[in-house]
Structure 1
Amino acid sequence: MYFSIIIPVYNRPQEVDELLESLCKQSYTNFETLIIEDGSDKSCKNIVDKYIDRLNIRYYYKENSGQGFSRNYGFERAEGDYFVVFDSDCIIPPHYFETVNRFLLEHPVDAYGGPDRAHPDFTPVQKAISYAMTSPLSTGGTRGNKKHVGIFHPRSFNMGISCEVYEQTGGYRITRMGEDIEFSIRIIESGFSTALIENAFVYHKRRSNMIQFFKQLHFFGRARINISRFYPNKVKFIHFLPALFTLGIIFFFSLPFWNLSLFKLLSVPFLAFIALILFHASYKNKSLNIGILSVVAVFTQLTAYGIGFLQELWTKTRK
């Protein structure tokens, strides 16, 4: 199996360095790497040049068009049997392509995805954010979970498609605001098979502080409504949960001014949720500090997504 790795990059040369270094350590090496510089001001060309003798790598610079169309740019130039998409802020464990190759030989599918994890060297904040995005106690539990409801939808931070999938679908139709969700839906509706490869995980850095994380999840919330413009029936009840949580938080903290007894009653499930996150995250990461940060990260995740979701929903209904 020959793989083509497509990595769109925008002003993140240091992340590319770490990602390429991890690709040099792969136990399965039958792949090429295409770096697509999407109109960056901070070029990673000098970083890529460091790996010319260590990887089968090609560098392309193009005008800024967003990550979806930058991936298409890479697909057009890829030569592999499978096109593998990574975000530039990922680190790939050494067994990744060996795991994927073995799975695809035993269980041929047209598209696959893998989960993400926190690397041991990540900062406490990054580990807390990773917990929020992958925990069963938040909406992140639907990502990379074999027990999730319905057909598995790969996500572009860690996914692969056969060259036939690209040839038939034409790749990404939109370049931002939920482009990976739209593409996954279209892959499945075109009759292609998908699968989660549980051990094909990546270490995903995401954002390094809560403000950046809030902005990212706010955008994700808006993106879910944007997808409904293409697929109205793809907004499920689960997608409304962060918005309901956000409205609940607003209602909860407005209660003391007019109904103290109801505030005390509702405090029980609210505090129980906090305690559950604190215990689970602390136990999973063997750190009370990360547990506390995880509480902040989960609340940031849910409220940011909820606000973005509600704002975009309001904008859509007014048009």
Structure 2
Amino acid sequence: MKVSVIIPTYNGKHRIGNLLSTLANQTFQVSEVIVVIDGSTDGTKEYLEQGDFGFTFSIFVQNNKGRAVVRNKGAELATGDLLIFFDDDMRLEPNCIEQHICHHQKHPNSILTGAQIDDYKKASSDFLKYKCWLSRKWSDPLNAYKGQPLPLNNLHLTAANFSIAKELFVKLGGFDSRLRDAEDFDLAIRAYKANVSIYYKHEAFAWHDDIVTATSYIKRLRQYQFAHRTLRRIKPEIYHNIELREPVQPHGLKKVLFSLFSNKLFLDIIDRRSNRLVFLPRIFRYKLYDLVTTSYGVFFTDRPI
């Protein structure tokens, strides 16, 4: 099996080196690594050309066109039978590639999503530790389906760490180039409707080095909400009877509570002073982070941050 690793990157000069270093130390050395630079302005191309990462790889530069298009370009350039996609802020455990390959040898014509876990050791703020906790909270239910395809009500595909046969990727039409977010959710739904099984394998493990603030995390939540509204609008026939994660707007006292926490004061406290809140029990701190990010990122997305 010839394996092609595809790495999309946008202004990832400060983080992509960590991923490439862990690729060089895999128990299985892949045939091909392709880095697709999506209109970066931070000198990523020069950094990659001048660095020594222990193996050779190809670089393709395009104008900024977004998540879906950049991954599709990598798949188009790839010559491997199996495509493995990693985002540029991932760090792989040494057997991550091997775990992807073993899965496809056992379950051909399927899709595998690996782990995407935030690292407590890299968390420099209490809010980042909350993000580490969240990543485990999201992944734990998926472990219940070990060795089994994921059901529709718990379908999960993260483009940051997943693999698929190139022939199947082409058959499914790749990522929808109209989308700049939620493109992996869209691919998962189309795969499910085409009777393609999607698996989650925690052993295909990668650390996620996503250094965020509460403000940047809220912006990401808002982008995701907008992306799902876009999906509903442009693909009504595909998403009929499919849950698109449209939030149920709060009413009564619950609305008052969320409105209260969509206040710049709370956001500033989290971003500037979260480490000073550690005297509070974790359950209270994390509930505060939940309330503020959900209020701003899901329910009151028109409020300035």
TM range (shorter): 0.7 to 0.9
Verify the 8 A CA contact 2:68 2:180 in the aligned structure 1.
Answer: yes
For residues 209-262 of structure 1, the C-alpha deviation after alignment (integer angstroms, 9 at most, x for no partner) is 11111111111122222222213335528x24x54469864333789xxxxxxx
For residues 160-219 of structure 1, the C-alpha deviation after alignment (integer angstroms, 9 at most, x for no partner) is 111111221231123313211112212222332321112112211234211111111111
Deviation at 1:153, TM superposition (A): 3.5
What's 2:175 paired with?
172
Distance in 2, matches of 1:141 and 1:301, equals 20
Q: Quick one: structure 1 residues 128 and 52, their matched pair in 2 at CA, closer, same or farther if it must change by over 3 Å? A: same
Q: Quick one: structure 1 residues 169 and 6, their matched pair in 2 at CA, closer, same or farther if it must change by over 3 Å? A: same
SS in 2 for 1:13: coil
Verify the 8 A CA contact 1:245 1:302 in the aligned structure 2.
Answer: no
How many residue pairs end up in the alignment? Answer: 273
Aligned residues: percent identity? Answer: 22
What's 1:85 paired with?
85
AA partner of residue 307 (structure 1): F
AA partner of residue 294 (structure 1): Y
The answer to whether residue 223 in structure 2 is matched with residue 216 in structure 1 is: no
The answer to whether residue 244 in structure 2 is matched with residue 252 in structure 1 is: no
What's 1:26 paired with?
26
SS in 2 for 1:121: helix
SS in 2 for 1:233: coil
What's 1:299 paired with?
291
TM-score (norm 2): 0.77
- Identify the match of residue 158 of structure 1 among 157, 161, 164: 161
Greater shift, 242-251 or 187-196, is seen at 242-251
What's 2:131 paired with?
129
Verify the 8 A CA contact 1:109 1:194 in the aligned structure 2.
Answer: no
The answer to whether residue 65 in structure 2 is matched with residue 65 in structure 1 is: yes
What's 1:206 paired with?
210
Deviation at 1:67, TM superposition (A): 1.4
Verify the 8 A CA contact 1:51 1:57 in the aligned structure 2.
Answer: no
Verify the 8 A CA contact 2:259 2:295 in the aligned structure 1.
Answer: no
Q: What is the correspondence of 1:110-121 to structure 2 with a 5 Å cutoff? A: 110-121=110-121
Structure 2 gaps of 5+ residues are 261-278
What's 1:190 paired with?
194
What's 1:12 paired with?
12
Verify the 8 A CA contact 1:3 1:83 in the aligned structure 2.
Answer: yes
SS in 1 for 2:298: helix
Distance in 2, matches of 1:187 and 1:218, equals 25
AA partner of residue 176 (structure 1): R
Deviation at 1:156, TM superposition (A): 0.8
AA partner of residue 106 (structure 2): E
Verify the 8 A CA contact 2:113 2:199 in the aligned structure 1.
Answer: yes
SS in 1 for 2:158: coil
Q: Quick one: structure 1 residues 202 and 294, their matched pair in 2 at CA, closer, same or farther if it must change by over 3 Å? A: farther
Distance in 2, matches of 1:235 and 1:305, equals 22
TM-score (norm 1): 0.74
Verify the 8 A CA contact 1:16 1:89 in the aligned structure 2.
Answer: yes
What's 1:37 paired with?
37
What's 1:266 paired with?
none
What's 1:233 paired with?
240
Distance in 2, matches of 1:94 and 1:247, equals 51
User: Which structure features the higher share of helix residues?
Assistant: 1
Deviation at 1:299, TM superposition (A): 2.9
SS in 2 for 1:176: coil
Distance in 2, matches of 1:118 and 1:81, equals 30
Q: Quick one: structure 1 residues 97 and 178, their matched pair in 2 at CA, closer, same or farther if it must change by over 3 Å? A: same
Q: Quick one: structure 1 residues 177 and 53, their matched pair in 2 at CA, closer, same or farther if it must change by over 3 Å? A: closer
What's 2:276 paired with?
none
Deviation at 1:127, TM superposition (A): 2.9
CA RMSD of aligned residues (A): 3.0
Q: Quick one: structure 1 residues 160 and 303, their matched pair in 2 at CA, closer, same or farther if it must change by over 3 Å? A: farther
